[in-house]
Chain A
Amino acid sequence: MSQLVFDPSKVMTIDYTQRTEYLDGLEAIKAAHKVLKEITYTPSLPDKGYTNRTLYVNVGSLEIKEKPVTQQMKDVFIGGRGFGLYHLWNAVKPTTRWNDPENEIIISPGPVSGITQYAGTGKSLVVSLSPQTEIPIDSNVGGFYGPLLKFSGFDALELQGKSDKDIILFIDGVKGIIRIEEAPTDPVDSHVLAEILTHMYAENEADLPNISVVSTGAAAEHSLIGMLNFSFYDRRRKCVRFKQAGRGGIGSVFRNKRIRALVVRGPKVAGDLNHPADPETIAKTGIKYHKEIRENDGSQCMMRRNGTAHIVEIMDAYDLLPVHNFQYGSHPDTHKIDSSYWQQRCTQHTVDGCWYGCSMACAKGADGLVLRTGPYKGDMVTVDGPEYENAAGLGSNCGVFDPDYLLELNFYCDTYGICTITYGTLTAFVMECYQRGILDKQRTGGLEMTWGNAEADLEMMHQMARGEGFGKIAGMGVKRMKEYFIRNGYGDPQLINDIGMENKGLEYSQYMSKESLAQQGGYALTNKGPQHDEAWLIFMDMVNKQLPTFEDKAEALYYFPLFRTWFGLNGFCKLPWNDVVPANNSSQPEAHKVPEHVQNYVDLFTATTGIQITKEDLIVQSAKVYNFQRVFNIRMGKGLRLHDAAPYRSLGPVTKEEYESRAERYDKQIVDEMGLDPKGKGTEEKMALHREWRTGRFSQLMDAVYTRRGWTLDGVPTLERLKELGLDAFPEVVEVVKQHL
């Protein structure tokens, strides 16, 4: 076991004051804005975490109104993702599609969001009907918009309708003004737009941190994979930075409504704005946690130094880093993009968080990047240094091990409004199709999509932003590309389906699940699609062997998705839960759950809202929302067992090369698990045995998980389960389920 040692002398010297500025056109852009609607309202701060009202804006009819937050909303849906799903359910019909006017985008921070005494408390959740999955998507995002929205007086923002012109919604939470403005000449891409809007709406320099902008970029207009950037003003660098609501194409919905940006101007953030019921407990819990970070982080994950990229080398060491479209789990060039590089490349002489008071401070700005391609070629920009998902998705999974190209891919994903996880997985799929002759230069319009060709990769992205060429086809995402390739007779349909890493229409995030049955379920048996924020069980299952039976795996796939759902109800970041642990954690029962931190969350919720809960109540709170979301999926014509099917690449080796790269392991499984002798059998015969065994046990896992969750074997929550959770109080929910029992 070797751990990286941080050497400050190796940190690159980068003069980020030479960053390109984009403020030249500000006055002309501002002059072109035209007020379409303006109302005044009375700003208010939360009481015990809630403002008790939400804001509804129809960007088509220009209707703006307040809605009350009812006790039932709080009891059943809590906030955040729960409020998003509640509003979306009421807004849409089973026939609604993502680009219909009634589809909504809901942003809600949750009751605990906005406190500054504990780490990771500035999150908000974004919910919409996804263009990729056609069911509700939820995306957990940092940046300042959510907390400032709440401190401006609203527990959620509902956006409905479609405008016929580009608009900006401005909420001034200090003066009590809500304004819809036509924005005919505003720039499109986020890094330019957000910088201009931040300066346009701030009253002076001291006001800059009180502004947050939600925006997307050019690619969101021409693809289904658009994401939203939530800005925060970095006082030290004096620049605007972003966190992303990435998954599921919410940025594409945003642009389809012709929203150019949301801007909030909130009050100056202070420690007591959330008006918690018990500020002493919050302060005490926070102090204890900050001490733990200070004392333990350096010998644990080094989140303050390396951020989430610290696991690049870990995943490589455990054969879990996706390489070449999830074919392999490690690569000899990984050291070029692991944290030993990023800790030199990203600025390390400053605390770097995305919300006030976060002592984990895992955001990592990479300054002084001079762009080599695209419309901003030659500009010097700051990009948030790659998170693990970006390094793995844009990097190893596509064979890109040049860190500056990786940063450039990351930058353009951000400014064009593209989800980096989705882009990484879809590009890896394109590259494997190219490798296997499913695609060629003619079909890609001249792009040579070989492993590691970052220039072709970037050109595909620029095409996506321009809405032309093969980039536009790629912007449909893996599911629709598979259908397109098969329809056009490009290759063997089974191979195309096997290697296209999507489930429910959403691309897989960046972990190898092939050797962990529990993680196969952790990805496929999710509500929104294969995103690791429900359950990450690879170590427990594959390395620790803590989950030997189907029932053990099902229990983990009951507990962890519910536990982690809870972060999104309340406005928490997941990272402070388990990327540092107390010094005595190893001597605690169920150390993998980090019991002291679970108790911290119970205490923080109670101290904020004044409502006493236990750690068991926490799971029940989540279960209400989780099961509601499952029924919502069913209401939209999905959400059944067949929709949880997984691509075979996520379950086992698709190709001979994959099998042979792990032949010893796979041959041993034929002996130990299947009771057969691999001797004398060819690779293809052994692959067929594996396919039968692996798909069979995945099916058995589904049975076990559905049973543990209180669902039928078709994946439908039973009436008993709904009653247990109090969801029988919603007749429409019961009605949906009854049709499937």
Chain B
Amino acid sequence: MINVNEEPLDWHPGMTIRDILRQKNYRFPMLVIHVNDVLVQKKDYDTTTVPDGAVVKVIHLISGG
């Protein structure tokens, strides 16, 4: 289990940032993502794997409005 934006999410081995975004349906293109307080660059979303128990913050910038 991992924690994404204060909500639990089932974890599986090899889970990437891209997997999380798909599962959460996070389609917004301007995101700032930290895994256990470490920034993940956009170019690394497909390759960065997330460990079990990780705290993931997916900050959507404001846009809109």
Near B by CB (< 8 A), chain A positions 565-583 give 574, 578-579, 581
A1, A539, A591 — most chain B CB neighbours (10 Å): A1
Contacts of A578 in B (CB 8 A): 61-63
Query: Of A311-319, A342-350, A727-735, which binds chain B?
Result: A311-319
Look across to chain A and name the residue whose beta carbon is closest to the beta carbon of B17. Answer: A1
Main secondary structure of the interface of B (DSSP, over half): loop
A592 and B62 contact, Cβ closer than 8 Å, known pairs A1-B18, A1-B21: yes
A532 within 8 A of B: yes
Near A by CB (< 8 A), chain B positions 51-65 give 57-65
Near A by CB (< 8 A), chain B positions 24-48 give 25-33, 39, 41-42, 45
How many Å lie between the Cα of A3 and that of B26 in the bound state? 11
Q: Give the shortest distance, in Å, between B37 (CB) and chain A (any CB).
A: 13
Q: Mark A374-389, 1 if CB is under 8 A from B, else 0.
A: 0000000000000010
Contacts of B33 in A (CB 8 A): 586
Contacts of B62 in A (CB 8 A): 536-537, 539-540, 578, 592
How many Å lie between the Cα of A2 and that of B18 in the bound state? 10
Q: Give the shortest distance, in Å, between B47 (CB) and chain A (any CB).
A: 15
A299 within 8 A of B: yes
How many Å lie between the Cα of A308 and that of B63 in the bound state? 9
Contacts of B42 in A (CB 8 A): 299, 586
Contacts of B64 in A (CB 8 A): 308, 311, 314-315, 388, 511, 532, 536, 538-539
CB pair B29 A587 closer than 8 Å: no
Question: Size class of A's contact patch?
Answer: 35 or more
How many Å lie between the Cα of A537 and that of B60 in the bound state? 10
Contacts of A543 in B (CB 8 A): 5, 26, 58, 60
Q: Mark A543-579, 1 if CB is under 8 A from B, else 0.
A: 1111010000000000000000000000000100011
CB pair A301 B29 closer than 8 Å: yes
Q: Give the shortest distance, in Å, between B44 (CB) and chain A (any CB).
A: 12
Q: Give the shortest distance, in Å, between B26 (CB) and chain A (any CB).
A: 6
The one of B18, B27, B29, B61 that contacts A539, using a Cβ cutoff of 8 Å:
B61
The one of A299, A532, A546, A548 that contacts B65, using a Cβ cutoff of 8 Å:
A532
CB pair A1 B27 closer than 8 Å: yes
CB pair B60 A587 closer than 8 Å: no
Q: Mark A523-544, 1 if CB is under 8 A from B, else 0.
A: 0000000001101111110011
CB pair B30 A533 closer than 8 Å: no
Contacts of A546 in B (CB 8 A): 59
Contacts of A545 in B (CB 8 A): 5-6
Look across to chain B and name the residue whose beta carbon is closest to the beta carbon of A302. Answer: B29
Contacts of A535 in B (CB 8 A): 65
CB pair B61 A536 closer than 8 Å: no
CB pair A314 B27 closer than 8 Å: yes
Contacts of A3 in B (CB 8 A): 27, 29
How many Å lie between the Cα of A710 and that of B19 in the bound state? 45
Q: Give the shortest distance, in Å, between A57 (CB) and chain B (any CB).
A: 35
CB pair B5 A592 closer than 8 Å: no
CB pair B30 A581 closer than 8 Å: yes
Contacts of A538 in B (CB 8 A): 64
Contacts of B45 in A (CB 8 A): 1
How many Å lie between the Cα of A2 and that of B27 in the bound state? 6
Q: Give the shortest distance, in Å, between A703 (CB) and chain B (any CB).
A: 24
CB pair B61 A591 closer than 8 Å: yes
Near B by CB (< 8 A), chain A positions 62-105 give none
Q: Give the shortest distance, in Å, between A426 (CB) and chain B (any CB).
A: 21
Contacts of A536 in B (CB 8 A): 62, 64-65
The one of A299, A548, A592 that contacts B29, using a Cβ cutoff of 8 Å:
A299
Contacts of B63 in A (CB 8 A): 301, 311, 539, 578-579
Contacts of A581 in B (CB 8 A): 30, 61
B27, B42, B64, B65 — most chain A CB neighbours (10 Å): B65
Near A by CB (< 8 A), chain B positions 1-26 give 5-6, 18, 21-22, 25-26
A594 within 8 A of B: yes
Contacts of B30 in A (CB 8 A): 300-301, 581
How many Å lie between the Cα of A581 and that of B28 in the bound state? 14
CB pair A591 B59 closer than 8 Å: yes
A308, A543, A585 — most chain B CB neighbours (10 Å): A543
Contacts of B59 in A (CB 8 A): 544, 546, 591-592
Look across to chain A and name the residue whose beta carbon is closest to the beta carbon of B20. Answer: A1
A–B complex contacts, Cβ < 8 Å, 22 sampled: A1-B22, A1-B26, A1-B45, A301-B63, A308-B64, A318-B25, A318-B28, A511-B64, A532-B65, A536-B62, A536-B64, A537-B62, A539-B64, A543-B26, A543-B58, A578-B61, A579-B63, A586-B31, A586-B33, A586-B41, A592-B59, A594-B61
Q: A318-B27, A548-B6, A591-B32 are in contact. List 11 more A-B contacts (CB 8 A).
A: A3-B29, A314-B28, A317-B27, A536-B62, A538-B64, A540-B60, A544-B58, A574-B65, A581-B61, A592-B61, A594-B61
